[in-house]
Structure 1
Amino acid sequence: MNKKRTYSIQQVAEMTGLSKQVIRKWEDRYGIITPERLDNGYRIYNEAEVARLQQIIVLTEAGHSVKQAAMLVQQEEEEQVEQPEVPTDQITYFLFALEEAGKLADDQKILHLLEQAHHLFGIEVLLQQIITPFLRRIGELWCEKKWGEYQEAVSSQTIRDFLANLRRRFHVPEHAPLVVGSCLPKERHEIPIHILLIQCMLRGYRTLMLGPAPAPTAIESTVRLTNPSIVLLTASTQAVWEDEGQAIRAIDAFAKTVPHIKFFIGGAGIQNTPPHFQLEAIQEAHSLQDIFSN
């Protein structure tokens, strides 16, 4: 990000939709931004400060107070600064060891390695640099017929159980906004939604996950009962298109009736969307940035 480019408070107000009074209030009361002052006393803001204000807006719209949002943004920035770079050879070791344990279908060894990596590197590194690449490797070995069903099932199930337990142990305040995560109907691969929900919890959200292959009505009733801020839907396979997307259309029609709730859909299973298939209320997302920048 180019921090040399600066903006006046009027420009920042136009970019963020905040009034100049609110911008000054957030600066003074919460220390969200610390703009420089020109000789004439006018404030000037850099791009990092504008981005920080936009993050605060997203979090407050999701249900956080301004104070809570400011703390979350500050915490995330501090974690990014303090996060040590993990040596490549350590990541390589864990990926090799996990593959060897998976080859033997040794669930206890896989679990031990995941726990060890969690304690050494933290959650973000574990998810992005170890679990996600290992899952891809499991898929490759399965497709190449180098692994059988038992090896694939034990490895995947152990990862799923580890992630589910990690979510249960993760404390988030009861008043935090809620994210509901679910596989799409007919989709049984639930590991991606576990990963997404853990990443949401790291950003201060409570989470609720539905089981694999839920009925569209189950998703609808859960959303009506819990009134979440965000609903995340995923599909890893093409099974969701067996009915020509009718289940997804039903969820989309429901999403239109609750416009205050943001619905997102993602995963490899939706990359080959049938021709002329359009969603009106559900947004497609390929990353957390797509979700939290909307």
Structure 2
Amino acid sequence: MATENYSIKDLEKLSGIKAHTLRIWEKRYGIIKPGRTDTNIRYYGNEELKKILNISLLNQHGYKISAISEMNDEEIAEKASSVGLFSQNGSTDENLLLSLIDMDEQLFNITFSGLMMKRGFEDTIISSIFPFFHRIGIMWQAGTINPAQEHFFSNLIRSKIIMATEALNKHPETNADVALLFLPEGELHEIGLLFYNYALRARGYRTIYLGQSVPHDSLYRVITICKPNLIVTGMTNPITSKDFMAFSQQLCEFAPGLNIYFTGPIPAGVRDILPSNARSVKDLLSLMQITQKA
């Protein structure tokens, strides 16, 4: 479990405000008050982080730090909410971050709906949510969020993608191409695959979605039954070049006449020696362009 103790460098990374500036604000205005460990090391808790994020929002929208310093915590949070939730000029990442840290589903839904109104569902996921997941990964590795917070946020996004897929209410034509989507054994992070499933359905494909951690031995039977026109798979867990080549070769031999799209990071040195029907996809937009119907 990650602690709720942040260094001033953590605050800098999460808020975008330089550590030097934070120290000046702390000394001159007393805006945040660090705690101290038994060994006298300064640290900041979740309340300080949330306050700094709110101050960052206000500062971005023209409030001077001298004026902010005269507000109490409730006034800062209230004004940040009023300028942040309905702003047309950014603040999205801060609101997403606040919803993650505070596990605030209402704030997340308001922020997500605002993005949807401006960008539409697909661009919201590609341009805002997936880059934010990258940020979450860095935070998780640094110990600034805990697994429960990451699961909370991931499940909110998972739910949004599933609902959007159901809302398509789109019946593919009888001769529509079939896309088979799955993650290999041990792969559990299916948010990207769920979005591929949505995007392919939106483009008229009939999709067969198998989801996470599919036993390799069952794939040949599935391919025989479904007769897909293409296969989409991928992995996020670390894998050696040797193991990746073994997996890709076996899968490509199962379906020699199909293009098989491998998403996610691929070990260095194997991209140029993949089987002839293997396709490396570097990001979401690449697959969408490759599979875009005329």
Query: Do they superpose with TM above 0.5?
Result: yes
Q: CA deviation at 1:108?
A: 4.8
Contact kept? 2:203, 2:292, Cα under 8 Å: no
Q: 2:260 aligns with which of 246, 260, 263?
A: 263
- Structure 2 counterpart of 1:247: 247
Contact kept? 2:271, 2:280, Cα under 8 Å: no
Amino acid of the residue matched to residue 189 of structure 1?
A: H
- Structure 1 counterpart of 2:236: 236
Q: Distance in 2 between matches of 1:239 and 1:91?
A: 40
Q: 1:283 aligns with which of 269, 279, 285?
A: 279
Q: Distance in 2 between matches of 1:91 and 1:204?
A: 35
Amino acid of the residue matched to residue 139 of structure 2?
A: L
Q: Distance in 2 between matches of 1:275 and 1:167?
A: 32
SS in 2 for 1:210: strand
1:213 and 2:213 are equivalent in the alignment: yes
- Structure 2 counterpart of 1:104: 102
Which residues of 2 match residues 79-228 of structure 1 at below 5 A? Answer: 90=88, 92-175=90-173, 176-228=176-228
Q: Structure 2, unaligned stretches of length 5 or more? A: 1-86
Q: Distance in 1 between matches of 2:163 and 2:240?
A: 27
Q: Distance in 1 between matches of 2:93 and 2:187?
A: 27
Q: CA deviation at 1:208?
A: 2.4
Q: Distance in 2 between matches of 1:204 and 1:108?
A: 33
- Structure 2 counterpart of 1:66: none
Q: Distance in 2 between matches of 1:112 and 1:221?
A: 44
Q: CA deviation at 1:120?
A: 4.2
> Which entry has the higher C-alpha Rg, 1 or 2?
2
- Structure 2 counterpart of 1:23: none
Q: Distance in 1 between matches of 2:250 and 2:171?
A: 33
Amino acid of the residue matched to residue 181 of structure 1?
A: L
Deviates more, 1:146-155 or 1:272-281: 272-281
Q: CA deviation at 1:184?
A: 2.8
TM-score normalized with structure 2 length: 0.60
Q: Distance in 2 between matches of 1:119 and 1:213?
A: 35
Q: CA deviation at 1:157?
A: 1.9
| Cα distance change of structure 1 residues 242 and 220 upon mapping to structure 2, 3 Å threshold | same
Contact kept? 1:183, 1:213, Cα under 8 Å: yes
SS in 2 for 1:212: strand
Q: Distance in 2 between matches of 1:130 and 1:178?
A: 29
Q: Cα deviations across residues 117-148 of structure 1 (Å, max 9, x unaligned)?
A: 33443122212222112211211211221111
Contact kept? 1:184, 1:248, Cα under 8 Å: no
Q: Distance in 1 between matches of 2:269 and 2:102?
A: 37
Q: Cα deviations across residues 203-246 of structure 1 (Å, max 9, x unaligned)?
A: 22222221211112333332222222221111122158695653
Contact kept? 1:233, 1:264, Cα under 8 Å: yes
- Structure 1 counterpart of 2:268: 272
Q: CA deviation at 1:162?
A: 1.7
| Cα distance change of structure 1 residues 282 and 124 upon mapping to structure 2, 3 Å threshold | same
Q: Cα deviations across residues 5-58 of structure 1 (Å, max 9, x unaligned)?
A: xxxxxxxxxxxxxxxxxxxxxxxxxxxxxxxxxxxxxxxxxxxxxxxxxxxxxx
| Cα distance change of structure 1 residues 221 and 95 upon mapping to structure 2, 3 Å threshold | farther
Q: Structure 1, unaligned stretches of length 5 or more? A: 1-88
Amino acid of the residue matched to residue 188 of structure 1?
A: L
Q: CA deviation at 1:277?
A: 5.7
TM-score normalized with structure 1 length: 0.60
